[in-house]
Amino acid sequence: MSFVPDSWPWWIVGAVLLFWFVGAYNRIVRLRSSALQAYAALDAALVRQLDFVQSRLAEAPAAQQPLAGDPPAHASLQASAGQLVTLLAATRLKPLDPAGIAALSTALHVMLGAWQRLYPDAVVSFEADGTLSRPAPLGGREEALAAAAPGTAVPLAWPEPSAAAEIARSQFNQAVDQYNAATAQFPALLVAWIMQLRPAAPLR
């Protein structure tokens, strides 16, 4: 008896599984590429914000007196901006690494907080679509988070009066959410596990 006629159903099943695997893998890779492209736009927007802060630092006098032993606000902003520059360079190597994004997020909020303390009247907040948001709360990000509805994205207060950074952050977070959702769906999560495609993290 010939082996081929008895085994053709297995060849069909194997071919279907192969086509499904390739299709699922291509979809995940496409979403991952979209997240990487979104991060590139976010990186450019953050660099522009950093350039704005550093140019203001170069123009401003550093002679601000510390309060209760704290470093001067000018020096604090300068140090946080330098740290953000370092973390941006590191994050470019692995833009979808959750640990790297978490460190970048912390450094970004430290710099934005230092800027807001030094220039409380020079912060602008935008919604994700680029429209002006309500004025940034004087209490900072903690107050904004407390006032926001659960699950609502809280806009950041940016030094440079441009919506580009908030739009780029929103687009990156959406791309990451779509990629993570694809890698978490069964049975596509098996493809992600086999190909070692790890979940990413948004920039909050």
> What is the tens place of the pLDDT at every residue in 14-68?
665 655 666 667 788 899 999 999 999 999 999 999 999 999 888 865 444 444 4
Residue 136 confidence (pLDDT): 52
**pLDDT confidence of 142, banded at 50, 70, 90?**
low
Which tokens belong to 95?
């833009």
- Mean pLDDT in the chain? 80
According to the per-residue pLDDT averaged within each range, which of 10-24, 51-65, 91-105, 136-150 is highest?
Answer: 91-105
> What is the tens place of the pLDDT at every residue in 65-90?
444 434 587 888 999 999 999 999 99
Quick one: which of 198, 166, 167, 168 has its CA closest to 182?
Answer: 198
Distances (CA, A) of 175 to 135, 165, 169: 27, 15, 10
Residues 52 and 160: beta-carbon distance below 8 Å: yes
Residues 21 and 191: beta-carbon distance below 8 Å: yes
On whether the pTM is more than 0.75, the answer is yes
Residue ranges per structural domain of the chain: 10-61+70-194
DSSP 120: T
